[in-house]
Structure 1
């Protein structure tokens, strides 16, 4: 079997020809002298018609076969497969790697496993089509984010993971013993994004970030992927919402166009959008919640989860949009680098994007004036010596600027309607899991 390998997707153009295929035994059906095998490679699945000896093959065995591509009879066409009108008559085969017997039926359309079992067996469950669908959607989200911003002249960079100070504030950080000194795992590439912006004007990054949240909710993990963008020479914070609005809609369109099969597996629909995503101040959002529900969140410094669900529902009913931007938070509610509203400094020009009752992103205009930045560092009681590299950039002419950050796992979870964010992380980490469930402390 020394023929050049053919990928499954390319067999459609090779009816009547001999091909060599490599892949995994995805399923098997024995009928006496004939054995039917579903062979899977990265590009798709195809039915093999094999001889009796192939009945000895196990599920997930890696094999190589040579055979002839032929059209199926009309009554045996499988409309669920892209290759459902053809099959391959096997002439010879060989086993490249034997698989142990899976601990559960990996051939079922629905795995129906408890989440801990699904994650404990990640190396196997990743081979299931419905699990793979999650990460095909996720890959499309990342590709679309990159493609959109590159099309706008943005430059991709990689931010560090180990940082000397935490820009976001708070205590939910992972401290690292860095050669006898204190350092942290980053919560955000924000400061480095702004440094890079000061040189390249338009930048973005796809970064791992870390949150030491002692939480086992369905919405929190300790390691996640942040999709970040930053842009100089803005006129207003609305330049950022306009950019993000266009970016998110492009990402959703790409998923809808390229992942129709994956969306169908989850009976998922892409969030509804309108030409201009609604933009509300925090105060306006709180007033709408009071008017529509009778519940009064006015005076609160942020929207709680119930508020987020309510305002998204209200906006969907009023406008048809699943997306809504919320701006005008109390200044101290956001990090030190967020720009205060010049007309009312008690509120800032930070903006959050909500969708289907969940926050998707945060962003807005940043402080770019060096003296003002030093004042805010002092007000937030931060040590300027620990962010020297960041502050230095603003000594040398940084124009008005801003940006946004989207959580990749949260987007994936929301688009597919997953019940737990851990399903949207290929190798999730939380306070109870690093690969496998951690042993109880004793």
Structure 2
């Protein structure tokens, strides 16, 4: 006896093989179907494990989970890369990050973490950017040094990867993924030190560059693997003008900042900094960027009544998934990716809705 629960149409392509041999646009155009393929399912099993491991690591740091809005009255990071929202006739924006709210909550709980959506209206289509991404954020108050933040982020990163590798060796083997190199001590370089190493290895002059471009990130990551047997490397002290207004300048060299990126297998998967925690200094930093403090009333209120020395960091969940599994495009690591060409269906398609 066979009971038919639901009739299915003919498949548009073969779903029975170990690999799904379709191009990325086809994979995404048929997302409700392709997500059922075993190999695609395993991507998101690993992603769920990464998020769970992040939560566990954050709790080991005594952080409390918070849930923050994704609609804000101002652009979180400043700048033009925002999605405006008509909010009952008022102007509002989709948040570029949970940054302002998690800083407010440091004044409440001292140590917090959140997993939240972030929206960036970046007019580009690359293999590493999404218009809607999932951020895994931690913010820590009452820090005693910049180094404390570096130790914390490296602990979370290496524990996440080690946990997933230990619990899901079978999936990684099935996907043909080698376990990442996660040393006890992640190598660290300042931006200038990293640029010097890249320049020596490639012959390129990076003296006028304010950041590492994708090629530089890959090169310094190769160096970290060769010299330190590490798939992670932390880069610190980026120019202050390349960082958000709330970033603490380096007291020793104010043109640089107490900031950091974490690279994993050649790609930036985390960014963060020590934050400005004094109200007047924050106001000055805002004005220097052309921002109006009046637009940040709720945020600034937290600093008017005292904010401890603090800092934090944010992982990109899709990017981390992509690099752990050696995927070719970050869209493969998003269930339903959003970019400037697609919200579920491609904007270039003008298909009638199925009846």
TM over 0.5: yes
Segment of structure 1 superposing worse, 410-419 or 305-314: 305-314
CA RMSD of aligned residues (A): 1.4
Q: 1:166 aligns to what?
A: 75
> Which residue pairs with 1:246 in the alignment?
155
Query: Which of the numbers 115, 137, 155 marks the counterpart of 2:24?
Result: 115
Contact 2:246 2:282 in 1 (8 A): yes
Structure with higher RCO (Cα < 8 A, 6+ apart): 2
Give the equivalent residue in structure 2 for 1:383. 292
- TM-score between the two structures when normalised by the length of structure 1: 0.77
- Tell me whether 1:306 sits opposite 2:222 in the alignment: no
Q: Give ranges in structure 2 of 5+ residues lacking alignment.
A: 351-355
Tell whether 2:101 aligns with 1:157.
no
Deviation at 1:236, TM superposition (A): 1.5
> Quick check: which has more Rg, 1 or 2?
1
Q: Which residue of 2 aligns with 1:418?
A: 327
Deviation at 1:100, TM superposition (A): 2.4
Q: In the alignment, is the contact (CA less than 8 A) between 1:245 and 1:277 conserved in 2?
A: yes
1:177 offset after TM fit, Å? 1.8
Q: What is the rounded CA distance, in whole Å, between the counterparts of 1:382 and 1:440 in structure 2?
A: 39
- The equivalent position to 1:140 in structure 2, one of 43, 49, 54, is 49
1:211 is aligned, of 99, 114, 120, to 120
Q: How does 1:38-437 map to 2 (within 5 A)?
A: 93-437=2-346
- 1:266-300, Cα deviation, whole Å (9 max, x unpaired): 21123212111111111111111122221121231
Per-residue CA deviations over 1:24-68 (Å, capped at 9, x if unaligned) read: xxxxxxxxxxxxxxxxxxxxxxxxxxxxxxxxxxxxxxxxxxxxx
How much has 1:440 moved relative to structure 2? 6.7
Distance 1:183 1:433 in 2: 23
Moved over 3 A (4+): none
Deviation at 1:109, TM superposition (A): 1.3
Q: 1-side partners of 2:83 and 2:259: how far apart?
A: 26
Alignment of 1:11-30 (within 5 A): none
Which of the pair is proportionally richer in strand? Answer: 1
Taking structure 2 as the reference length, the TM-score comes to 0.95
Query: Are the counterparts in 1 of residues 162 and 182 from structure 2 also a CA contact under 8 Å?
Result: no
Deviations 1:171-193 (A, max 9, x none): 22111122222211111100001
Secondary structure, counterpart of 1:228 in structure 2: strand
Cα distance in 1, alignment partners of residues 218 and 32 from structure 2: 35
1:86-138 CA deviation, whole Å, 9 max, x = no partner? xxxxxx55333232222222111111011111111111111111000100000
